[in-house]
Structure 1
């Protein structure tokens, strides 16, 4: 009896299996769906974090980029190069005439300001060495005159002082040394030496007159016009003797 019931169930099972294996026909106008293979989901990197925390820098004075914004500096075009114009002479100075000769510059002691050097007012004359002067003194006087002519007044003074050490009471040597001191712009020393020469001159009235003229010029350089006039009057007193 059991075998008959099993045999009756077998056809039913076969029929059910066949119906489930039959697929539904495709609908007209529809596109069959493509089967896509599912890809495994990508794993998020372990290093990614939901929110990143700023890493503390080893340098406490960290710098940050600052947006300077639009620049307000206006770039100017290149300026034209300036051309140097020749200097024009002052309007009150007349142009030099053709063939004119420029006046020579007057040498002035560089150590003395121009305002403190007065113009020469009294003519200081030279004096000749008298006869009977020792040859050694004559040689020194010649060397001193040569140095003075070349403009080396210091060397001329040194040589003349050597000559005076040989013949200390020679009034002409003293007078010539006073001349050198006057040229060195040392009027006080020149006045003292010229006064000494006038005393040593004795009966040599010409040398006395020249010595007092030199004293007048030395006082003029020391801004003493009254003393210069008195010395000039003293010098004129020796004329006609």
Structure 2
């Protein structure tokens, strides 16, 4: 009996369950709202740029519009100054002096003869031996050895004017006029009353100045040497 009742109610329950399933609606999907982005302002392109066209001047107007130079035109700039020609400089003889007269060139003067000096009496034998050795070296052309011997003699007798004068002679032969002038000046001071040695010393000074192209100073020294004649 119970089985018959279940068979009767089972189809009814299945139909009710199917209706319930059909009537259920699926959940609605929620769409996200996206705000549109603001469009960027349009950038000017090279195609949109228009070439600048010079305006034509209107008749009767006081101003005019000209096209802008693009700098491509080449212009040749010519100097308005006349071409300068090179001129040779005037020689010193052609230049006028302060007095308005042409300056005369300085003329060279002939060499002065340098005289030898004798060894004074009473000189120590050691000094005489050194001077003899110096004279022998000078005669053979060894001027450096002659200078060494004379300087050794001066260390023994430093205030001997004849030794100083002989060393000045060697400096002249070595082509050292400045040193020779200094030594000859010292010899002239040490000579004292020996006027002959003074004259020879000033004559050597004149030659040293001539070698240095101090011609006016050489003439003065020569005149000083001549002043000792007759004394």
TM superposition score normalised by structure 1: 0.51
- Name the structure 1 match of 2:150: 160
Candidates 119, 124, 134, aligned match of 1:129: 119
Given that 1:127 and 1:176 are in contact with CA atoms closer than 8 Å, whether structure 2 keeps it comes out as yes
For 2:203 and 2:136, how far apart are their aligned partners in 1? 24
Q: How does 1:224-235 map to 2 (within 5 A)?
A: 224-235=214-225
Unaligned segments of structure 1, at least 5 residues = 1-117
CA RMSD of aligned residues (A): 1.2
Structure 1 runs of 4+ with >4 Å offset: none
- Counterpart-to-counterpart distance in 2, 1:125 and 1:175: 10
Separation of aligned partners in 2, 1:187 and 1:166: 25
The answer (yes or no) to whether the contact 2:109–2:215 under 8 Å persists in 1 is: no
Residue in 1 that maps onto 2:230 = 240
Deviation at 1:119, TM superposition (A): 8.1
CA distance in 2: counterparts of 1:120 and 1:167, whole angstroms: 35
> Which residues of structure 2 form unaligned runs of 5+?
1-107
Q: Within the alignment, does 1:142 sit opposite 2:165 as a pair? A: no
CA contact 1:219–1:227 (8 Å) conserved in 2? yes
Supply the distance in 1 between the matched residues of 2:160 and 2:113 (Cα, whole angstroms).
23
Tell me the TM-score normalized by structure 2.
0.53
- 2:207 matched residue in structure 1: 217
Within 1, Cα distance between the matches of 2:226 and 2:196? 11
Q: In structure 2, what is the Cα distance between the partners aligned to 1:119 and 1:224?
A: 10
Structure 2 equivalent of residue 187 of structure 1: 177
Native 8 Å contact 1:181 1:190 kept in 2:
yes
Q: Secondary structure at the match of 1:199?
A: helix
Residues paired across the two proteins, number: 124
CA deviation vs aligned residue, 1:43-63 (integer Å, no higher than 9, x gap): xxxxxxxxxxxxxxxxxxxxx
